[in-house]
Structure 1
């Protein structure tokens, strides 16, 4: 696990700027948006649609990274290859090292799985998995259907990671975010029972 990978990506993004800039009055709307994505992912997980749940969980990680950095970036109207529109970069920024510092996620999925998720995020494998979780494709001469590639445990682990990313990166900036995070905390606990 690279403690500096996410920070370096954030620094590069802040230096370049983005056309995505969160204004303080819009932050709570973003909190509601991420919570809705978590709820949708959880609902799909409960319906045993593990690949689609995984897709939305990865979207949560991306949105968390984008929103968090969008709070601090400078608006640039003409940014070539805007970093806050790049899936891999957003995944790296949403997978910052501080997520692993708390006990909740480590106790839920274990340090080995946590390190696997970080590695997938940093290497671009999570971006590839995002595509595989929603689109059918031919691979090694055969048709690959998303639900054949994603199992329940992995889908659950990524959802838990996404919730922790949300909690670690966005919860606490406003009283509203703290109050609303009770929803994602309940989902996190529900997943531990499943």
Structure 2
């Protein structure tokens, strides 16, 4: 009898033959619900970084989000924040029990302040600043020593989604972008 290693599946199916096969499928669709553990893990890793931060934090100065985006002439990040705004409540629930929430927000705010100074020097727009903050969070938290030797590496798309959700959360706390002046 001859053994044949063969797998067959129908439309949109996935088949695999062999030991230890891992299949990851990404079709470009962002799931509506984010894994709580991924958001929490990114928050923890931001708070645990060795970054300095400005020690002021208050939610009293919150302004109208649309007014703030318009004042800062944000383009692409309006759509990005809109895309992730439905996850705000979930992030809020995750962070309620996280004791280092303020530290995390302060560190992201400090990243923003440094990038804002760069933006002014380079005469760039606010999308540049937000993209640089995103990149810095991802580089500092995900590409640094926190993930490199870890066996629990997160999926890149999940990390991006978690960072965007966290950035939106920090934006709502008035720690990303300038407040509109009257």
Superposition TM-score, scaled by structure 2 size? 0.34
Q: When you count helix as a share of all residues, which structure comes out higher?
A: 1
Larger Cα-atom Rg: 2
Q: Which has the higher contact order (CA 8 A, sep 6+)?
A: 2
Superposition TM-score, scaled by structure 1 size? 0.32
